[in-house]
A and B are shown apart, each in its own frame.
Chain A
Amino acid sequence: MIGVVDYGLGNVQAFITMYKRLHLPAMPVRTAGEVEAASKLILPGVGAFDHAMDLLNASGMRDAVVASATERAVPLLGVCVGMQMMANGSDEGKLPGLGLVPGRVVEMKRLNAAAVLPMPHMGWNDVEAVGDASLFRGLQDGLKFYFLHSYCFACDNEADVLAQTRYGATFACAVRRGNVIGVQFHPEKSHHFGAGLLRNFAEL
């Protein structure tokens, strides 16, 4: 059973709807006990970093999510701000992150000061897999996902980068360290590309 961590942020229902269409079992999880019972976890998130960390901390599920990802090695997929929360911290806020993937969340416009591009980065953009491609298996050429963000993940270790995207500068749009995966884009809103990725995650 895939558990979608429902701590009050992010589009929990969109993941449940997507998995229902794929005929794969998924449900929202709202307590530490439910987190511990899940065989895979999705951590969604939208909005500001500290607000998301505050809500996760207050939900009573934070420790169970971290323990599942580390001690039990349960596959964990962070989405958008859910991905950013896996870093050590973010330039957007003051609170520490979960520290599951070494790195820091930085403001996108600082990656390439010369590029005057509209921010936030909003819309469908090309994604290039650079590491282990198992999450993108079976997804044909023209891989694209929907993005909606102003901050992005800067990995400490190049080897943790799973895929990259270009918007002014090239940045890590997917990261992976062992069983912990993060994607900056929104697979739950990316039509067949997103469905394929969520299916691949379910089959990991």
Chain B
Amino acid sequence: MLMPRIIASLLIHDGGLVKTVGFQNPKYVGDPLNAVRIFNEKECDELAVFDIDATVNGVGPDFKMIAELASECRMPLCYGGGVRTVEQAKTIISLGVEKVALSSAALETPQLVSDIARQLGRQSVVVVLDVKKRMFGNDFDVLTHNGKRKSGLSMRQAAEQAQQAGAGEIVINAIDDDGAMKGYNLALARQAREIVTVPLTMLGGAGSLDHLAALIEACGTVGAAAGSLFVFKGIYRAVLINYPDAAQKEALFVSERGQA
């Protein structure tokens, strides 16, 4: 059976690892390389690293940092942040990264997704959509630049456009739930599941293993990504990198195993 993917999502800001709440107030939680080493030991399914400075500061990806992370990483690695050209994507893949994530560039220039997919294969192109619930109705807006700019597209429009262009995975990042640790927005997840025909990953809101299980029950084989859950411990949010062991993970998949 193809397992749901339990993905650790790490944010890089000023060269350090940080965690935000609602995309605000980055709190320093440690050294990125050290975190990668710990996730190696814990046999994490997959790691996603997002440089949250690159696009906002208008700079490209930090290839030196990516090379260091990739050579340390013994699990599949996805990198996102500041990627705007095919050449940058090629360089990142050549450094030993499995997947390159695009966000604002994919929304502005869907052709970029197609060009990367054609040259590197669509399995290497991820489109991340930062979404926020509209004031009225049940639709979600897609934002860029760390939630500061509107793209003018709804989640459905943006996801369909990305799939059409050649994205091999879509990550839905729920701005309202970021860092809240109160559980995934399952209504959003179900809506995304219905739209997305490529592998889907949900990010934002996970605060316990039960939240991961609830997402898997709602969406089946899905990527369950989390930041806070895997870097904080306890109600005082003490920094402690953690990750479910094989038995805990297997318990999360009970609903899926039942179907298989």
Chain A interface (Cβ within 8 Å of chain B)?
8-9, 11-14, 17-18, 46-48, 51, 81, 118-126, 142, 144, 146-150, 166-167, 186, 188-189, 191-192, 194
Q: Is the CB of A123 within 8 A of B5?
A: yes
Q: Is B133's beta carbon under 8 Å from chain A?
A: no
Q: How far is the CA of A17 from the CA of B77 in the complex (A)?
A: 15
Q: Mark B75-119, 1 if CB is under 8 A from A, else 0.
A: 111000000000000000111101100000000000000000011
Q: Is the CB of B2 within 8 A of A46?
A: no
Q: Which residues of A contact B93 (CB under 8 A)?
A: 46-47
Q: Which residues of B contact A8 (CB under 8 A)?
A: 94
Instruction: Specify the chain B residue showing the minimal Cβ separation from A192.
Output: B43
Q: How far is the CA of A146 from the CA of B75 in the complex (A)?
A: 9
Q: Which residues of B contact A125 (CB under 8 A)?
A: 1-3
Q: List the 5 shortest-distance A-B pairs measured between CB atoms, nearest first.
A: A47-B121, A120-B123, A191-B43, A122-B199, A47-B120
Q: How far is the CA of A144 from the CA of B246 in the complex (A)?
A: 12
Listed by A's residue number, 19 A-B pairs whose Cβ atoms lie within 8 Å are A11-B98, A14-B70, A14-B71, A17-B74, A46-B120, A51-B120, A119-B197, A120-B123, A120-B169, A120-B199, A123-B3, A123-B46, A123-B221, A123-B223, A146-B46, A148-B98, A166-B1, A188-B74, A189-B74
Q: Which residues of A contact B246 (CB under 8 A)?
A: 142
- Choose among B40, B43, B75, B120 the residue that contacts A48 (Cβ–Cβ < 8 A): B120
Q: Is B186's beta carbon under 8 Å from chain A?
A: no
Q: Is B198's beta carbon under 8 Å from chain A?
A: yes
Known A125-B1, A167-B2, A191-B75; judge A46-B121 contact (CB<8 A).
yes
Query: How many residues on the B side are at the interface (Cβ–Cβ under 8 A)?
Result: 40
Instruction: Specify the chain A residue showing the minimal Cβ separation from B196.
Output: A118
Chain B interface (Cβ within 8 Å of chain A)?
1-5, 40, 43, 45-46, 70-77, 93-96, 98-99, 118-124, 168-169, 196-200, 221, 223, 246
Q: Which residues of B contact A12 (CB under 8 A)?
A: 96
List 10 additional A-B contacts (Cβ < 8 Å) besides A118-B197, A146-B76.
A8-B94, A47-B120, A48-B119, A123-B46, A124-B5, A142-B246, A146-B46, A148-B98, A148-B124, A167-B2
Known A47-B124, A148-B123, A191-B43; judge A186-B3 contact (CB<8 A).
no
Q: Which residues of B contact A142 (CB under 8 A)?
A: 246
Instruction: Specify the chain B residue showing the minimal Cβ separation from A122.
Output: B199
Q: Which residues of B contact A124 (CB under 8 A)?
A: 2-3, 5, 45
Q: Is the CB of A123 within 8 A of B96?
A: no
Q: Is the CB of B98 within 8 A of A189?
A: yes
Instruction: Specify the chain B residue showing the minimal Cβ separation from A118.
Output: B199
The winner among B5, B72, B74, B75 for most chain A CB atoms within 10 A is B74
Smallest CB–CB gap between A21 and chain B, Å? 8
Q: How far is the CA of A167 from the CA of B221 in the complex (A)?
A: 12
Q: Which residues of A contact B223 (CB under 8 A)?
A: 123
Q: Which residues of A contact B98 (CB under 8 A)?
A: 11, 46, 148, 186, 189
Q: Which residues of B contact A118 (CB under 8 A)?
A: 196-200, 221
- Choose among A9, A18, A126, A194 the residue that contacts B1 (Cβ–Cβ < 8 A): A126
Q: Which residues of A contact B118 (CB under 8 A)?
A: 48
Q: How far is the CA of A64 from the CA of B256 in the complex (A)?
A: 47
Smallest CB–CB gap between B224 and chain A, Å? 11
Instruction: Specify the chain B residue showing the minimal Cβ separation from A148.
Output: B123
Q: Which residues of B contact A121 (CB under 8 A)?
A: 2
The winner among B123, B221, B246 for most chain A CB atoms within 10 A is B123
Known A118-B199, A123-B221; judge A13-B119 contact (CB<8 A).
no
Q: Is the CB of A11 within 8 A of B96?
A: yes
Known A13-B70, A123-B45, A186-B76; judge A144-B3 contact (CB<8 A).
yes
Smallest CB–CB gap between A124 and chain B, Å? 5
Known A124-B45, A126-B1, A144-B3; judge A47-B76 contact (CB<8 A).
no
